[in-house]
Structure 1
Amino acid sequence: MIRTPLRPLARILSARERGENPDAIERENIRLRAERSAERLRRSAERRLYVMAGFFGLGFLAVGVQMGALAASEPVEPRLASSGPAIVAQRADITDRRGRVLATNLLTHSLYAQTRDMVDPARAAQELAKIFPDLDPDRLTRQLTDGRSFMWIKRRISPEQMQAVHDIGEPGLLFGPREMRLYPNGPLAAHVLGGARFGTEGVHSAEVIGVAGVERAFDGWLRDPANGGAPLVLSLDLSVQSAVEDLLDSGMKMMNAKGATAVLMEVRTGEIVAMASLPDFDPNDRPAPLLKGDASDSPLFNRAVQGVYELGSTFKVFAIAQALDLGLVAADTMIPTKGPLVWGRFKINDFHSYGAQNSVTDILVKSSNVGTARIATMIGPERQRDFLTRLGFTEPTQVELTEAPTGRPLLPAKWSDISSLTISYGHGLSASPLHLAAAYATLANGGRRVTPTLVHGAQPKGAGEQVVSPEAAAQTLAMMRAVVTRGTASFGEVRGYRVAGKTGTADKPRPTGGYYDDKVIATFASVFPVDDPQYVLVLTLDEPVETSGPEPRRTAGWTAVPVAAEVIRRTAPLLGLRPEVGVEPEVLDGVTLVRN
C-alpha cells in the first residue's frame, strides 16, 4: 500500500510562495486519511455482518428442517447415549384372563453414598440405623470411612424412608430413581408368578429380571420394548385362584397334611384357571432356597409341577380306557378279582376282598388292584407304555414355567410285565399332579390330547392328537361318575353339578428306599359337569390324616375328596357354571349327603 505523506514538500513550498499556512495542508491530509481508514473499517464490518447473518440463516434453516422432520415422523422415546450396555428398566405387567393385575411396576428409589461428599459419616451412620433397623451403625461407619468413594446402602426404599433420610441433611447421601416389581395380591398365585430381582444396576436405573415361574419363563418377552407395553395375559382367574387357595389351605389344616396342591384346568383348551401349591410364599419378599434337606420342605417348591408322586388308583382309569379303546373289554365284562394275583415272586392284593369277579365298571368303582392288573395283562407292557407316552406321562409337561423341566416323571428302568401290572393301578411310575390333570382332561375332551398352558388364548380348541376314541372316553367318564355316586369318592358329590372322578391313595416312599407305613399321598382327580365336561380338578394332599373318627383315616376318599368337593362347590359359580335345577341329594348306604 502506498502511503501519502502528510506534508508533501512540493505543496508546502507552493503554499509558502503564496503566503498560505503549510499546517492547513497537514490537517487536510490527516482528515482525508482518517476518512479512508473509517471507510475501510466500515466495509470490513459489513462483510463480517453478512457472514454472521449467513451462518445464522443456515442455523435457523437446519433447525427448521429438523423440526419439520420430527413433526412428520413417529414419536420415539429419547435414549441416553452411553458407552456401556443399556439398562432396560421397563417391564410389562402380568394380568389374569380378565385383565386384573397380578404383577406390575412401582417407581421407587435407591439410597447410596458418595463418601467424599459426606460431612459427618459417623453421625449419618447412626441416623441411618434408626431409619433402617437392619443396618449395623458401627459396621456402616467403617464402610463409609474406609476410603471407598461409592457404596450402596439400600437398593429400594419407601417414600417415608426417603423423607427421613432427607431430614438427616447429609449431602453425601443420594437417591437414584428405579422401578421395582410389585405383586399387589401378595402370596396369591406365587408359584405361578415366581418372582423377580434386580439385574444390571446403575445409579439412576436398574433392570428387573425374572427368577422363577412365568416371570423367568417370559423374561425376554416382558422386557421387550417391541411389545409396546402390552401385558402378559395369563389363563388364571384371580377370583377362582383365591377361592382355591383359601379352601386348599383350610383343607390342608383340617386333614393335618404336610402340603397340598390343586390344579383346575379347562377341558377343551388346557388353560389352567387355578394352580395352587402349599405352603407358599410372598413373591414381594421371596425367601432363599433350601441348600440341604428335602426340596419339598421349601415354600418355593411347586408341588403341582415339580412334585413327582406315585398317584395311586387314579391311574386305573387309563388302563380301563385303553382296554375299552382296544376292544379288549366292555363296561360289563366280568374280570376275576379274587386275590392275591401272583406274578412270579410278586403278589398283588386289594385293600378289601371284592369277591371272585367284578365287572369292569365295578373294578373302577371299588378300586380293585387285582382286577385292574388283570386288565393290564390283556394290554401288555409295550402297548401300555405307548399309550401313557401319548398321554404325556413319560416327559415333563410343556407348561410355561421355568420349573416345568424339573418335573420329569420317574419311569421303571425296564418296563417289564410286573411293571406294567403295578403301573396300571398307580405304583411304579411317578408323575406330577399337572400330568394327571392333562391326562384326565384328554379323556374328558373326547379322547383328544390336551396340553396344559398358562397363557390365555394360547391354543385353539381341539387341536391335539386323538389318543383314545370318543366312545371309549365317554364310557370311561360314565364309570368315573359311578365312582362318585356309589364308590370310593362318594363324598365328592356336589349338589347341582354332576361330578365324575377317581380317588388315589399311594404309600409315600422313603428317601432311603421302601415305603412309610403311615404316610400317604392322597389324590382326587375329577371332571365336572360330567354330562358336558368343562373342567378338570386334581387335588393332592401330602401325608393327610383325618381324625374325626375313632381311628385315623388316610385314604383319599376321606381326605382329598371332601376338600375337592368344597372347591368345586365354591368355584363352579365363579366359573359361570349354572347348577342343574332339581337335583336332590343322593342317599348312599343310608347316609344322606348334605351341603350347607
Structure 2
Amino acid sequence: MTFLSRIMLLKSRAHFSTDGQRGGVTANNLTIKGAGKRKSQMAKNRVGVVIAGFCLVYAVIGGRLVQYGYAQPETVSSILPADRLMASRPDILDRNGEVLATDIRTVSLFAEPHKIVDADEAVERLQTVLTDLDVRDTYRKLSSDSRFQWLRRQLTPKQQSQILALGIPGIGFRPEKRRFYPGGPTASHVVGYVNIDNRGMTGMEKYIDNQGMADLRALGMTTDAPLEPVKLSIDLRVQNIVRDVLVKAMDKFKAIGAGGVVIDAHTGEILAMASLPDYDPNNPVGSEEGWLSRMANATFEMGSTFKSFTVAMGLDHKKINMNSTLDARYPIRLGGFTIKDFHGKNRILTVPEVFQYSSNIGTAKIADLVGTDAHKEFLTRIGLLTRMQTELPEVAMPSQPRVWKKINSVTISFGHGVSTTPLQTAVAGVALVNGGKLLNPTFLPRTREQADQIAQQVLDPATSTDMRFLFRWNGIKGSGKNARVEGFDVGGKTGTADKVVNGRYVNDKNFNAFLAAFPIDNPRYVVLSFIDEPKTDKGNGAALAGNSAAPMVGDIIRRSAAILGVEPKFGEDGSALLVSY
C-alpha cells in the first residue's frame, strides 16, 4: 500500500470515529438531563416533607397553647404567677406619715417531688437549716406524686443562702412579699394583720381588702407596682402613750384587761385606741388571747358612766334642770329589788350633787320621770343600742333587754342591764360635750367641714352646755379629781360596775371606766379608759374607778396634750403663764 493510500485510510477511520463520538455526546447529554430532573424532584419532595413536619409540630404547639389558655389555673400549674405572688399591698401610715404597715420582699421554699432523688437525704439536709422542720410531713410531701409542694413560707435571707449551699436538686425558691409592722403591737387592734398569703384578716388591713382589693386579687388584676398609701387618723405618738399607760396600769392593778381611746370631739377621728391583752401582728400565731379588741369588739356594762346619759336625757326632755332637786333619802324598792346609793348622803340632792355623788336613787328617779319608752328612744338616738358604724370590721353589737320594763329602765339608768362597747360609750360621750352632735367614729382623716356634713344633732346645745358644767364639777369635787392635770381643765364621770358571774352580780370583780373630756370649757378631745378586774392589796374589786381608771386618763392627757396641740392655761381666768427658772 502506497503512502498515499495509507493516509486516505487513516482519514477515513478518523471520520467515522468523530461521528461516533458526536453521536455518543448526544446520548450522554440526554442521560445527564434525565438524572438531573430526578434529583431536583427528590429535593423538592424532601423540602416539602420538612415543611410539612414543621407545620405539624407548630400546629401541635399552638393547639396545646390554646388548650392551656382555656384550662383552669389549677390544672396548668401548682405555682401561682409571679406577678400575683408579688402583688403589693398599700402602705398604712399614721396621720403624720409614720409607717404602720409596709411590704418587704422575701422568698418561700418549695419542692418539685418528681425531681427529688432521695427524700430521706433531702429532709435530713433541710433539717440542718430549718431545725423546727416537721420531718414526717416534709417527707410525705417530698415522696408524693405531686409536682409542687410548699415547704416553708417567708424565709430569712440567711436561711435562703444556707439552703442554697446544700445543693438539693428539686428544691427552689419563690419570691413573695411579707407584711411588716414596724411598731409591733403598738396599734395591732387598729391596723390588724395579714395571713401568710398577704390577705387582710382583721383591722384596717381587712378594711382595705373589703374596699375591692380582695376582688382584684381574685381576678389576678393586682401587680407588684407600689400603691397609694392609706393614711389613718391615728397619731402614732399618742397611740404609743395610750398603750404604755395601759401596760403600766395592767401591771399595777394585776388586771385581766385594759383599754383606752382618744377621740377628736369635733371630727370624730380616732387619734389613738389600744386594748390589752394585744398581740404582735408580725407574729400573730400563738397570740389568740390578744386578738380580741376589748375597746370595739367586746361589750361591758359601763356602770356609772351611763349616769351621764341619764342626766343628759332628763335635761334634754326638760324633766329636770340644773336647779332641780331629787329625793335620795330612801332606797327604792321595785320588783323585788332594792336600789340604794353606794355613797349615800341620805338627803335631797341637787342635779350637780346627783352627778357628783353618783346617786343611783337620783338617776333612777330621772329615768322614771322620762319614762321607759322615751328612755329607750334616747339611748338609741345617741347611738348606744345599735351597732356602731365605722371602718373597723370588728365591732360588737350592744345587748339590751328583749322587752323593756320599768325595772329595766331604772337599772339601765345607772349602767346595769345594757352592755355596750367602750368605744361606743366614748363616741356617745362626744355628743354630750361638743354641742350635741353625734359623729360616727372614723379611723381615716376627716376635716371639720366633712364632719359637720354628716353630724346628727341628737341633743339640744343647751343640754351639752349643762353636761360640760357637770363634767367639770365632778372633775373638781367628785370622783374625777384623780384625773385632773395642772393647766388642762379635765372633767368626766367614773363608772364602777360589778361584773356578772354565772348570771349573778359579784362585788369582788369590777369593771372600772372613766369618760372624760378636755379642755372642758371648750372640749377638743374625749378620752375614755377602762380596766377590767383591777386588784389591790385590799383584795379583788377594792380598786374603784376613781382610783384606777381616772388616773389612767390623767396620765394620757398629761403626756399627750402638748402633742395634740392643746396649750395649758393657769390661773382663775386661764391667763397666767407657767414660768420656769
Q: Same fold (TM over 0.5)?
A: yes
Q: Which residue is 2:115 aligned to?
A: 117
Q: Is the 8 A contact 1:545 1:559 kept in 2?
A: no
1:60-94: CA deviations, max 9, x gaps? xxxxxxxxxxxxxxxxxxxx998528764222221
Shift of 1:241: 0.6
- Correspondence 1:122-521 to 2 at 5 A: 122-137=120-135, 140-141=138-139, 143-145=141-143, 147-198=145-196, 207-221=197-211, 222-223=213-214, 224=216, 229-287=227-285, 298-404=289-395, 407-457=396-446, 460-462=450-452, 463-510=454-501, 512-521=502-511
Q: Which residue is 1:67 aligned to?
A: none
User: Root-mean-square deviation (CA), in Å?
Assistant: 3.1
In structure 1, stretches of 5+ residues that fail to align are 1-15, 42-79, 199-206, 291-297, 586-596
Q: Which residue is 1:578 aligned to?
A: 567
Q: Is the 8 A contact 2:509 2:540 kept in 1?
A: no
- What SS is found at the alignment partner of 2:126? helix
- What SS is found at the alignment partner of 2:282? helix
- What SS is found at the alignment partner of 1:287? coil
Q: Is the 8 A contact 2:433 2:467 kept in 1?
A: no
In structure 2, stretches of 5+ residues that fail to align are 1-13, 41-68, 75-79, 575-581
Q: Is the 8 A contact 2:263 2:269 kept in 1?
A: yes
> Residue 165 and residue 488 in structure 1: after superposition, are their counterparts in 2 closer, same or farther (change >3 A)?
same
Q: Distance in 2 between matches of 1:228 and 1:114?
A: 31
Q: Is the 8 A contact 1:339 1:350 kept in 2?
A: no
Shift of 1:112: 1.3
Q: Is the 8 A contact 1:339 1:348 kept in 2?
A: no
Q: Distance in 1 between matches of 2:560 and 2:375?
A: 35
> Residue 422 and residue 358 in structure 1: after superposition, are their counterparts in 2 closer, same or farther (change >3 A)?
same
- What SS is found at the alignment partner of 1:508? strand
Q: Distance in 2 between matches of 1:561 and 1:316?
A: 16
**Aligned AA for 1:361?**
P
Q: Distance in 2 between matches of 1:537 and 1:496?
A: 17
Shift of 1:566: 0.4
1:444-471: CA deviations, max 9, x gaps? 2200111111122388122221111111
- Correspondence 1:73-84 to 2 at 5 A: 83-84=72-73
Shift of 1:210: 1.2
Q: Which residue is 2:553 aligned to?
A: 564
1:107-150: CA deviations, max 9, x gaps? 11111122332344323212211211211446544543355543
Shift of 1:435: 0.9
Q: Does 1:545 align with 2:543?
A: no
Q: Is the 8 A contact 2:509 2:541 kept in 1?
A: no
* Number of residue pairs aligned between Structure 1 and Structure 2: 514
> Residue 419 and residue 550 in structure 1: after superposition, are their counterparts in 2 closer, same or farther (change >3 A)?
closer
**Aligned AA for 1:216?**
K
**Aligned AA for 1:116?**
H
User: What TM-score results when the alignment is normalised by the length of structure 1?
Assistant: 0.79
Q: Distance in 2 between matches of 1:82 and 1:242?
A: 51
Q: Distance in 1 between matches of 2:548 and 2:485?
A: 16
> Residue 314 and residue 234 in structure 1: after superposition, are their counterparts in 2 closer, same or farther (change >3 A)?
same
Q: Distance in 2 between matches of 1:177 and 1:230?
A: 22
Q: Is the 8 A contact 1:128 1:137 kept in 2?
A: no
> Residue 551 and residue 33 in structure 1: after superposition, are their counterparts in 2 closer, same or farther (change >3 A)?
closer
Q: Is the 8 A contact 1:489 1:503 kept in 2?
A: yes
Shift of 1:514: 0.3
Q: Distance in 1 between matches of 2:94 and 2:190?
A: 11
- What SS is found at the alignment partner of 1:180? strand
Q: Is the 8 A contact 1:196 1:208 kept in 2?
A: yes
Q: Matched residues, percent identical?
A: 35
- What SS is found at the alignment partner of 1:153? strand
Q: Which residue is 1:48 aligned to?
A: none
Q: Distance in 2 between matches of 1:82 and 1:126?
A: 38
Q: Is the 8 A contact 2:510 2:541 kept in 1?
A: no
**Aligned AA for 1:495?**
E
Higher alpha-carbon deviation: 139-148 or 472-481: 139-148
- What SS is found at the alignment partner of 1:434? helix
> Residue 461 and residue 220 in structure 1: after superposition, are their counterparts in 2 closer, same or farther (change >3 A)?
closer
Shift of 1:30: 9.1
Q: Distance in 1 between matches of 2:199 and 2:106?
A: 16
> Residue 551 and residue 100 in structure 1: after superposition, are their counterparts in 2 closer, same or farther (change >3 A)?
closer
Query: Would you tell me which structure has more helix in proportion to its own residues?
Result: 2
Q: Distance in 2 between matches of 1:94 and 1:551?
A: 41
- What SS is found at the alignment partner of 1:210? coil
Shift of 1:165: 0.2
Shift of 1:17: 10
Q: Is the 8 A contact 2:258 2:530 kept in 1?
A: yes
Residue in structure 2 matching 1:527, options 517, 525, 532? 517
- What SS is found at the alignment partner of 2:404? coil
Q: Distance in 2 between matches of 1:485 and 1:81?
A: 75
> Residue 170 and residue 581 in structure 1: after superposition, are their counterparts in 2 closer, same or farther (change >3 A)?
same
